[in-house]
A and B are shown apart, each in its own frame.
Chain A
Amino acid sequence: MLLEARDVSKAFGDFRAVAGADLTVEAGEIVGLIGPNGAGKSTFFNCLAGDTLPTTGRILFDGADLTRAAPEAHARAGIGRTFQVPTTFDDMSVLANVMVGAFLRHPHRNDAREHARRIVELTGLRADQPARSLGTPGRKRLEIARVLASGPRLLLLDESLAGLTPGELQAAIALVRRIHQMGVTIVIVEHIMEVIMTLTRRVLVFNQGRVIASGTPEQVVRDEAVIEAYLGRGARRQRE
């Protein structure tokens, strides 16, 4: 087992954004995480990445307890993540952005630059372009490149494929496949069912802070509780 999150909760005051969520991920999987807006997916992600300290529960990565560890410790352990709202280093070039990630496993500049160049090529970006001049799809791609350069074993993608045109989407799906083939385990939060259907074998559905269903994408979209979570009570009945 690569990642094991047990009974994770996060409360903001009285509001429980994540309420006893469980997730286990085997090495080599691509797991999808879906759910309506406000279901607590991003908060759960932040707990997994060490960005948010869970109120209760434990997070084990490769046997080590990372529940209370800082985000940089998560990165060092091999958990990489992207952000829902892309946070690229806008004053730097694409290559420099990716180098910041590469420095984690390549402390010397020339090694880091060489490694970063390969990653930039793989992701189809232009090395000398200023990050500032990228549009949203470019930024999301850069975020993926940057975290990939840091050498993660587990990659948490938080809606990295949202807001892309159909063409860009196909390219992005291909990129995620490539990354997976490189041996990186992936957990992906996504609203676009096409992405989930094509990339994942196993999907967890989040609602009101907990997992309400899991299974193959085909099973999950037919699940009564899932339809209800997305469309409201009685949706199934009206449709029939």
Chain B
Amino acid sequence: MKKLLAQPASGQRVSVWLLAAALVLYPLVFSDAFYRDVGVTFLLAAISASAWNIVGGYAGQVSVGHSMFFGLGAYTPLLFYTLWGWPPLAGIPVGILLSVGLAVVIGLPTFRLSGHYFSMATIAVAELIRIFVGTWALVGGAIGLQGPAMARGWWDLTFRGDLPYYYIFLAVLALVLAVTFALERRRFGYYLRAIKSSERAARSLGVPVRRVKLQALALSAAFTSAAGSLYGVKTGFIDPDSGFGILVSVQMVIFAALGGAGTLFGPLLGALILVPLQTASNTWFGGGGSGLTFVLYGGIIVLIARFEPGGLFDLWRRLAPHLRRRAHAA
């Protein structure tokens, strides 16, 4: 955090508490179903982008295939419900375990690659899984799976309104950020940033690079899987595209990169800007708006890559001293 906000420590703490209070109060102030839905969508995007951020941001291993963990997390509870009537709550940890296992299996070979090659390999794996799931009848094929229509108990995580989802999602987001914050300050966090900067130098200092990267991917996969599960139980429906589609992966990358990859609150900031924008374009342009989302993402990628690789947090960190000086002068 010290790195994030170039401001006095007390100022940071105040902004974090203000943010937390705003997020807790938001659905109570905006009780309209539409606004609550936007809030839930925002939280979900913030969770998955923050989860991606652990390996994609801090460790600089830009995975564009995180939908494989998201999809696995979304499918597992619904699959176990469909097959054996398991409550979704019981399927979530299984999804997380499967995702961690997948992360290790995928990470071992792909971490031999670096830079763009790693990114492309992750895309390829996620796409293969998407196509495979689309043809596998047991998991619903191209049609997908459905969750419980009526709740048998709270453990089915099937609620009428958005409010319970909102607070569950908020709690999970808080957990992801708390874990990231704790890791950032420990040896593990320093090692991740060292790896991002120069793997060769990190190894020369005794950093077990492959193990650290694998741990980061596994942790990131676990949280991404949880995000997928939340999406699955909230929507009550999952198909190959909404679970394993490339747009799911790209969204995580864009949200994190816009706000600031490798910063604690960067992904949250990215989601805070892009989710309302996306909702607005969907509302104004109807079904045709989804294509526009891609155009918007493309534009953002170009702008970030060209002008602000550090994202908005980085921009702010550089501008803040100037603005403050100007404020003092005025």
Contacts and interface: CB of A to CB of B under 8 A. Distances in A.
B82 to A, nearest CB: 46
A29 to B, nearest CB: 21
B206 A72 contact: yes
B152 interface: no
B206 A76 contact: yes
A109 B185 contact: yes
Interface in B189-208: 190-191, 193-194, 196-198, 200-208
A222 B209 CA distance: 46
Contact of A70 (B186, B198, B203): B203
B198 A75 contact: no
B196 to A, nearest CB: 7
Given A90-B197, A91-B196, A150 B185 contact: no
A88 B201 contact: yes
A72 B193 contact: no
Contacts of B208: 72
Chain B residues touching A, range? 20 to 34
A51 B186 contact: no
Contact of A104 (B186, B196, B198, B206): B206
Contacts of B202: 89, 100
Contacts of B209: 72
B206 to A, nearest CB: 3
Nearest to B198: A87
Contacts of B186: 109
B204 A147 contact: yes
B187 interface: yes
B201 A103 contact: no
B201 A75 contact: no
B293 to A, nearest CB: 31
Chain A residues touching B, range? 20 to 34
A100 B191 contact: yes
A150 B206 contact: yes
Contact of B203 (A71, A91, A99): A71
B200 A100 contact: no
A101 B205 contact: yes
A75 B206 contact: yes
B206 A89 contact: no
Contacts of B201: 83, 87-89
Interface string A101-115: 101100111001000
Contact of B197 (A51, A75, A91, A147): A91
A146 B194 CA distance: 12
B187 A107 contact: yes
Query: Interface majority SS on B: helix, strand, loop or mixed?
Result: helix
A76 B207 CA distance: 9
A75 B203 contact: yes
Given A72-B209, A89-B197, A90-B197, A103 B191 contact: yes
A153 interface: no
B263 to A, nearest CB: 11
Interface string B202-226: 1111111100000000000000000
Nearest to B190: A100
A143 to B, nearest CB: 8
Interface string A146-160: 110010000000000
A51 B207 CA distance: 13
Given A109-B185, A112-B187, A89 B194 contact: yes
A100 B204 contact: no
Contact of B207 (A80, A100, A108, A109): A100
A51 B208 CA distance: 14
Contacts of B206: 72, 75-76, 101, 104, 150
Nearest to A76: B206
A49 B193 contact: no
A87 B199 CA distance: 10
A116 B204 CA distance: 17
A100 B205 contact: yes
Contacts of A88: 197-198, 201
Contacts of A101: 205-206
Interface in A185-229: none
Interface string B252-266: 000000000010000
A81 interface: yes
A70 B186 CA distance: 24
B261 to A, nearest CB: 11
A76, A100, A108: most-surrounded residue (chain B CB, <10 A): A100
Give the 7 A-B CB pairs with smallest separation, nearest first. A75-B206, A89-B197, A104-B206, A87-B201, A71-B203, A87-B198, A100-B194
16 contacts: A49-B204, A51-B204, A72-B204, A72-B206, A75-B204, A83-B200, A83-B204, A89-B194, A89-B198, A90-B197, A91-B196, A92-B190, A96-B190, A96-B193, A99-B190, A100-B205
Interface of A: 49, 51, 70-72, 74-76, 80-81, 83, 87-92, 96, 99-101, 103-104, 107-109, 112, 146-147, 150
Interface of B: 185-187, 190-191, 193-194, 196-198, 200-209, 262
Given A89-B194, A91-B196, A100-B190, 9 more contacts: A72-B203, A74-B204, A75-B205, A83-B204, A87-B200, A89-B202, A91-B262, A99-B190, A100-B202
